[in-house]
Structure 1
C-alpha cells in the first residue's frame, strides 16, 4: 500500500455552536446534579432505592437533549433518546418486581454502551 495517503476524517459539516455555550453547559450540568440529588434523596426517603439507577439514567438522558442543541451535536439526540428508553426499560423491570440487581443490569450495560458509543463517536469526529 505504498503511496496511499491516509487522511484524518474531519467533521462532515460545520457545527453551529451557541455563543454562550459554556454558560449553558454549566447550567445544564448544575440542573442535572440537582435533579440527581433530589431523585436519590427522594427515592431513599420513599423506600425505593432500586429506582435510583433508573432515575439517574433518565436525568442523564434528559441532559443530553439541550446539549445536542447547544453544541450542535446531532448524536447527542440519539444518546439522550437511548438513555431515556433504557431508563423506561429499567422502570418496567422494577415494576415487574424483579430484583434490584436485575434492574441495575437492565439499565447499566445498555447505558454504558450508549455512553461509550457516544464518546467514541465524538472523539472520532472531533
Structure 2
C-alpha cells in the first residue's frame, strides 16, 4: 500500500502529540470512553489528525456503546483504506487514512444499516471541522 502524504518519523514526532503519535503511527488504541469525540454530537466533518484529510461525516456517526467514535461509512470511498490486522490474537480490518497511512482504528461487521459496518475510530486520530451555517 502506498500513501500520498508521508513524512519521516522525526517529522511525525514533531507534528503530533505523544498520544497522537502512539495511536496514529504506532497503531495504538486509547481507552474506551476517554477520547474527546466518543460522545460528540456537533454537525461537521472528522479529519485525520495527522494530515487533515476529511474522513467521516457527522451524518454517519452513531452511538455504538463502545466508548469510541463510531461511523457506518467513511465520507467517500477513497477516504479510508483497510488492511488485515492479526495482532493481539485476532483477525480484524484495520482502518487507515488513505492519504497518509495513519492508523485510525478498526472496522467491524456489526454496524447499523445501510452498510452494516462499524468504523471504530480513536478520537486521537481525529480533528473536527464544524459545519458552517
Q: Which has the larger radius of gyration?
A: 1
**TM score, norm. by length of structure 2:** 0.27
* Structure richer in helix, relative to its length: 1
Structure with bigger strand share is 2
